[in-house]
Structure 1
Amino acid sequence: MTSTAKFPIALLILLCAASSALAGTCADEIARTQVQLDRAIEKDAGSHGWKPESLNALRSHQPTPRSLAEAESGDGVDFTVALDSLDRARAADHIGDMRACRRELAHARAILR
């Protein structure tokens, strides 16, 4: 294969690699919002005083952000809705639907305010 034939192949490989790197532009925002949501859930979890242990806690299951949000959803803030929005944002980011991803991120952030 001559060097002139190798150049278009190399260019094609480079462009494919660059396009997949740019496809997940919403991923950084999702990660930042997840951190903010996790902090809000943890802060809220300690503000309601002691409650009886759940069956999952008695079975030594480790808490997740979703299980904490379900157990501690107080003060009128339902963090599970924000977690659902982040799940939908991840799905939209995965298929490259940036409009839906940003819409779901905005919804999750609105809950955090």
Structure 2
Amino acid sequence: VSNAELRQPGKSPNFSVNWIVGNTDLEVINATTGKQTSGSSSRLCKHMFYTRWAKLYGKLSTRVQSHGEVPSVYSEAKLVAHPYQSVKQQLFKAFQKAGLGTWVKKPPEQDQFPLTV
């Protein structure tokens, strides 16, 4: 095969593409950096989701925390989301019960970033 663009088995592409229904913009992400080709953060990165969640959280009349403040660190927000934690544990148990092994945990420092809006 002489076409360099054809997929090589065992080798992942160095980019990914995402789009949103109703939006004509494609987002091309560098697989090495996780950022757009322009250098800015992806609309699908944890920080962007956290920022959007915090804005919605601030509009709620009932709060997860008694004092009603948005957690300042992403990992804290995940810890106080009790339904999320419960479902996550159920998923891990289901994987083990099905003989699929244990969930590989990422380094905790990946979720220890502050909210900057």
Would you tell me which structure has more strand in proportion to its own residues? Answer: 2
TM range (shorter): under 0.3
Higher RCO (C-alpha under 8 Å, 6+ residues apart): 1
Q: Give 1 or 2 for the bigger CA radius of gyration.
A: 1
TM-score normalised by length of structure 2: 0.27
More helix by share: 1
